[in-house]
Amino acid sequence: MGGSYPPSWARRVYMLLLRIYPRATRERFDQELFDVFRCSWIAKREAGEQAVAVRMWVRALRDVTVNGLAFRFRRTYGRTHASTLSKLRTLLVTVRQDTRWGLRAMRRNPGFAAVVIATFGLAVGVNAAVFSIVDGVLFQPLPFPESGRLIRVWSTDTLGVERFKRSTFAEVTGIGQRNRSFSGLAAYSMVPSRMLDGYSTPETVVLARLTGDLPAVLGAVPIAGRTFHPTDFQGDGRVVMLSQGLWQRRYGRDPQIVGEQVSIRDEMLTVIGILPETFEYPQDAEAWRPFPVAAYQDDDRELVIVARLADGVSVAQSTSDVRLITSGMRNEGADVDEVQSAWVQPLRATVVRDVRTALLLLLASVGLILLIGCVNVANLFLTRTSHRASELAIRTALGASRGRLVRHLASEGLVLAFFGVTVGLFVGRALLTVVLRLAPASTPRLSEVSLNGFVVAVMFGTVLITGILVSALPGWRWSRLAAGSINVGTRSALGVSRGVSAHRGLVTAEVALSTVLVAVAATLAGSFYNLLSFDRGFETESLLAVPISIADDHGSTQETRLLYARALELTRSLPGVVSAALSFRSPLQTTSFRLSYRTAAAMGDGSTSVNPYLHSVSPAYFSTVKVSLSHGRAFSIADDVDARAVGVINDTFARRHFGGMDPVGQLLYGETGDEIEIVGVVGDIRPTAASMPALVLYRPFAQLVIPFNYLLVRTVTNPLDLVPAIRERVWSLNPNIALDEIATISEEVSGTLAAPRFNMLFVSVFAGIALVLAMIGVYGVMSYTVASRRPEWGLRQVLGADRMTVLRHVLLDSLRVTASGVGIGLILSVAVRRAIRSVLYDVAPAELVVLIAVFAVLAGVAIVAALIPAIRATGVTPLAAFRD
């Protein structure tokens, strides 16, 4: 026989396994154990069995582990406890019996089971859905390798307060070269850019212009082609990577596009690769290209710095690093506009910053529902257990141990909770689909949301524990009473009063929690109403915004101006068009680029310049968007390139910089020596209720030609009907003009309302659920109270109370239970409303009307819930009451 078996190393391995044994046992038996192992091996081998080595080792592993642990267990717990394993087995059998008992109990009482399962199901459903979203958006790491080390660098304001301000070219260069905290750093700015190629109609895509290799910093791997080379960032970098979405939409996933040339912003760029869908950074970007840093040489704060922390560097350390660098640059004489202090924030926090409060609000809402649901179920069990007091007393008398009784009750709760949570998870999955469809499109990371194992585990854990507690605790209490007196079966006064006070405590808690939710929902609804009825300063209906881009950076001004004028003319002459105008920005976009001017007064006293946003608009702009002209005149055809430079300012500008003076006729002095005469003042435009009116200086389009514009069209019919005709006419001028994402202004307005509408809608639905649950709770406690006081109703009637008095008595009692809950809830809700200020618009944190309305709703709920028990109480005849 060639070779020895078991192999020579087997002894060493086996001895290693034997380490599981306690030392003394091992030293006593190790040689013998191995001897048996070896002999068995040989015997099996000689018997011609297959795969002896594998089988022997598998068996040995199991054998040594089990028996070694048994020896250890015995050593620790002694011989008497050595049978714990068999006790465990007995326990499993008991659990199986108890489960069967729970199932039988459920079948005996289907109504009760249905209410408990439905309550748990509803609570778990909304929680699973919302928890999944919150987990996916806020808590899960970003879809990049070691994403916890990714950060963003923000700039502070001039006072050094940490603000979310972007960086300047100088800061990017300084921090990029001098930092000792980052293993990789890239900055980008985003620009909407016209894209041309031989594949499809021109369209505008969002181009991210990178100072460094952003995909490499994030750790993204292209799904086709290559990533950037360091050489791409030197020179003019005429290469571009495209998003998977754009690749799919525009090129039908054609791999041949890699290596082709496309025109973006009138530059021919070679497509080098496609970035995967998971590389959704920055949000909305669809193309990434290296951008010569030289192009950024101004002090615009337009750059976003993303970096990867080097090993062992914390966020705090990197913050002090960038702070040192920026203060160093300032000491070296950098301009205050160019370099400000900086700070570092984890990238994940940055990405979800805007939705954090809203999501946590939703999470808190559904958390409250879960709490209310649990309280409700506790209440139901309390009532049921007290109804079964006599049964428990008899079983105790027959020798059932208290532990056994409690375990029986708990197993019933456990079974119901199990069914509830299972139903709830199905509800949750369905709900998640609905919520994801309704969620505002601007919510980041929605594609990463799913009902994951973590959520399922949390739900199971929470509800099963609740199920056991709420069913076992009342059982514990009642079985104690039962042990003391079998008389409890006839409801001793003691038992009833205890039951009632526990009930009332629970209902008060439940009502308080519901009140908080209803108050928050009312606040959100009020805030949403404010948004709907809010005056934006212009007419949003029947207005179409057509992004139109004739030439990008390199277009010739004269030619561009002519093309725009003809496109405008062709559009205006379409049937159904009331008026049309060109504008650099849609009316809903307030920000723009800024230039510095001085007023005559400022020139005189040497005070600082004003920095209004510049909007270049064609003459019909003000009449087209219907913004009110407060003073002076609007632009006319006469304000062309050869005429005197004129401007129109908005009310805020006039108020802030001209005080009581009439601005019309005043001059604005630009930094390059240009002078602009103010000819008119128009009303402020506020796109959202949250935005403060900014300083705006409108300039005639003819005097300030910007290549990228909006064609604003006011129509008599549905504006979208005109889209094909507008496209046809504009493209008849030049097929390379990009027209895309044409939307009505009212659609855009509705888009800005998406997030508040979503918040309001869901919190309201949750508040509704909470109210229903609270009503069930109040109903439960009132019917229990009424039933347990039957003799009292009879007695009262004997003593002369009429039915109305009894009815009033019960209803008032219900109101009393509710009132304390509402009171506590309202106090809590004032605090909560402060916490959610950031998702509110124009709502004072404690509006009296809302509070009164909430109180009225809850009082109504209390009365409705108590009505049936109250009527039942009036139906008790004195005779029937005393027979009990």
Partner 1 sequence: MTPKRVLASSLPLKPVVYHILAALADGSKHGYAIKRDIGVRSQNRLDLDPGTLYRLIARLLEDGLVEGVTTSPTTKEPEDGRRRYYRLTEDGRAAYVAETERMASLVDSARADGVIRKPRTA
- Contact range with partner 1 by CB under 8 A, out of 60-68, 94-102, 130-138, 743-751: 60-68
Pick between residue 66 and residue 831 the one whose CB is nearest to partner 1: 66
| Shortest separation between residue 34's beta carbon and partner 1, angstroms | 8
| Amino acid symbol at 158 | T
Pick between residue 31 and residue 607 the one whose CB is nearest to partner 1: 31
Out of 6, 10, 52, 71, the residue judged to bind partner 1 by CB under 8 A: 71
Out of 70, 88, 161, 831, the residue judged to bind partner 1 by CB under 8 A: 70
Out of 64, 224, 262, 274, the residue judged to bind partner 1 by CB under 8 A: 64
- Partner residues linked to 543 by β-bridges: 714
Pick between residue 56 and residue 370 the one whose CB is nearest to partner 1: 56
Pick between residue 48 and residue 606 the one whose CB is nearest to partner 1: 48
Pick between residue 39 and residue 600 the one whose CB is nearest to partner 1: 39
| Shortest separation between residue 92's beta carbon and partner 1, angstroms | 20
Q: Cα–Cα distance between 501 and 486 in angstroms, integer?
A: 22
CA atoms within 13 A on the CB side of 704: 23
Binding mask 366-405 for partner 1 (x = CB under 8 A): ----------------------------------------
- Contact range with partner 1 by CB under 8 A, out of 21-29, 541-549, 572-580, 715-723: 21-29
29 touches partner 1 by CB under 8 A: yes
766 touches partner 1 by CB under 8 A: no
**Residues listed for the chain:** 884
Out of 10, 33, 186, 344, the residue judged to bind partner 1 by CB under 8 A: 33
| Amino acid symbol at 800 | G
Pairing state of beta strands 267-275 and 261-264? Answer: antiparallel
25 touches partner 1 by CB under 8 A: yes
Which two tokens mark 268? 């021919």
Of 186, 176, 172, nearest in space to 217 by CA: 186
| Shortest separation between residue 29's beta carbon and partner 1, angstroms | 5
Binding mask 567-606 for partner 1 (x = CB under 8 A): ----------------------------------------
| Shortest separation between residue 89's beta carbon and partner 1, angstroms | 15
Q: Cα–Cα distance between 852 and 864 in angstroms, integer?
A: 18
**In 197-285, which ranges are E strands?**
203-210, 224-225, 239-243, 261-264, 267-275
Q: How many residues bind partner 1 (CB under 8 A)?
A: 23
Pick between residue 63 and residue 354 the one whose CB is nearest to partner 1: 63
| Shortest separation between residue 1's beta carbon and partner 1, angstroms | 20
Residues 6+ apart with CB under 8 A from 353: 164
3-state secondary structure of 597: strand
Report 804-833 residues binding partner 1 (CB under 8 A). Answer: none
- Contact range with partner 1 by CB under 8 A, out of 54-62, 183-191, 648-656, 861-869: 54-62
Out of 10, 60, 304, 415, the residue judged to bind partner 1 by CB under 8 A: 60
Which two tokens mark 602? 């400022």
For Cα atoms 802, 808, 812, give the angle at the middle one, nearest 5 degrees.
150
- Contact range with partner 1 by CB under 8 A, out of 56-64, 157-165, 661-669, 845-853: 56-64
Q: Cα–Cα distance between 36 and 14 in angstroms, integer?
A: 12
Q: Are 788 and 496 in contact (CB under 8 A)?
A: yes
- In order of 259, 314, 764, 850, the CA distances from 346 in angstroms are 35, 10, 33, 38
- Contact range with partner 1 by CB under 8 A, out of 32-40, 329-337, 587-595, 676-684: 32-40
Q: Cα–Cα distance between 69 and 48 in angstroms, integer?
A: 33
Q: Are 128 and 422 in contact (CB under 8 A)?
A: no
| Shortest separation between residue 71's beta carbon and partner 1, angstroms | 7
- Contact range with partner 1 by CB under 8 A, out of 33-41, 151-159, 457-465, 515-523: 33-41
The H-or-E segment that residue 190 falls in is strand 182-196
Q: Are 507 and 814 in contact (CB under 8 A)?
A: no
| Amino acid symbol at 670 | G
Cα Rg of the chain (Å, integer): 37
63 touches partner 1 by CB under 8 A: yes
Burial of 674 (0-12, 13-18, 19+ CB in 10 A): exposed
Out of 6, 10, 34, 385, the residue judged to bind partner 1 by CB under 8 A: 34
59 touches partner 1 by CB under 8 A: yes
Pick between residue 25 and residue 156 the one whose CB is nearest to partner 1: 25
- For the stretch 715-721, contacts whose Cβ atoms lie closer than 8 Å and that sit 24 or more positions apart, written own/partner, are 715/542, 715/543, 715/544, 715/576, 715/577, 715/578, 716/542, 716/576, 716/578, 717/542, 717/576, 718/542, 719/542, 719/543, 719/544, 719/744, 720/544, 720/744, 721/576
Pick between residue 34 and residue 622 the one whose CB is nearest to partner 1: 34
| Shortest separation between residue 128's beta carbon and partner 1, angstroms | 45
460 touches partner 1 by CB under 8 A: no
Q: Cα–Cα distance between 445 and 218 in angstroms, integer?
A: 16
| Shortest separation between residue 39's beta carbon and partner 1, angstroms | 4
| Shortest separation between residue 67's beta carbon and partner 1, angstroms | 3
41 touches partner 1 by CB under 8 A: no
Which two tokens mark 794? 């009879």
Give the relative orientation of helices 110-134 and 356-387 as an angle to the nearest 10 degrees.
160
Which two tokens mark 330? 């300032």
Of 371, 722, 778, 690, nearest in space to 572 by CA: 722
| Shortest separation between residue 506's beta carbon and partner 1, angstroms | 52
Which two tokens mark 648? 């129109």
Q: Are 785 and 475 in contact (CB under 8 A)?
A: no
67 touches partner 1 by CB under 8 A: yes
Q: Which residue in this structure is represented by tokens 């007196």? A: 485
Beta-carbon count within 10 A of 111 CB? 7
| Shortest separation between residue 78's beta carbon and partner 1, angstroms | 12
Q: Are 154 and 164 in contact (CB under 8 A)?
A: yes
- Contact range with partner 1 by CB under 8 A, out of 64-72, 104-112, 818-826, 859-867: 64-72
66 touches partner 1 by CB under 8 A: yes
Residues lying near partner 1 in the complex (CB under 8 A): 25, 28-29, 31-37, 39-40, 43, 59-60, 62-64, 66-68, 70-71
